[in-house]
Amino acid sequence: MKLPGSIVSVAIATLTFSILVIATAQDQQAQFSSLRSEKYRASEIQWKGHFGGRKEEPHNVYCLMTQGAFRAPTSDDFEELIKIWLSQHPNAEASVVYILSPSLTDFPDSKMKSVWVVDGEDNLNIYLVRKGGCPAGTMLLNRGDKTALTREEYESFSKRVNDAEQLAKKDSLGIWNKLDGS
């Protein structure tokens, strides 16, 4: 059976579009790895809000957010939430999930290291989102970012942090509090 030319053209166009969409979607995902990420004791990092630094790396900056760190909305008690969590988790580790380099123009070797701070099953980044300290999107990777995380680690975190945001919204916590004008 011979198909009309218009049907064949539509089929070819649809197939071409589908391949382009799939290729674009794959190209826009984070780039995952099975390499070990850098880890530090969270207590080695001197935190000021969601930014921190280590004496051993004077030109590097640590950040609890992977995106929007300079403009993201944060709750009035954001810094206090960090202090409380860290005091309750003295053995927490900061695990580097993303590195932006260079971060300072005068120091070409400088880096901004986005971290997840973890103590067992407890995660400071998820806690901050759950308490309404910041939106979940600030903790997620951008398209094309390279990370030492596996896809499974990231997808698990992504689900947990998005669930935390939904609960914070439901409970009108922090930035989601409708009474504070945010």
Domain residue spans in the chain? 39-177
Print burial letters for 109-141: b (CB count within 10 Å at least 16), e (below 16).
ebbbbbbbbbbeeebbbbbbbbbbbbbbbbbbb
d(CA 124, CA 84): 10
Instruction: Report residue 21's pLDDT band, with 50, 70 and 90 as the boundaries.
Output: very low
- The SS3 assignment for 39 reads strand
CATH architecture of 39-177: Beta Barrel (2.40)
Q: Is the pLDDT of residue 13 over 90?
A: no
For residue 146, the 8-state DSSP code is B
pLDDT number for residue 34: 60
Per-residue model confidence as pLDDT tens digits over 29-47: 677 766 677 899 999 999 9
Phi, psi of 47 (to 5 degrees): -95, 140
The pLDDT of 13-37, averaged and rounded, is 47
Instruction: Report residue 154's pLDDT band, with 50, 70 and 90 as the boundaries.
Output: very high
The pLDDT of 156-178, averaged and rounded, is 96
Q: Is the pLDDT of residue 16 over 70?
A: no
Query: In degrees, to the nearest 5, what angle opens at C-alpha 97 toward C-alphas 107 and 173?
Result: 110
C-beta neighbour count of 169 within 10 angstroms = 17
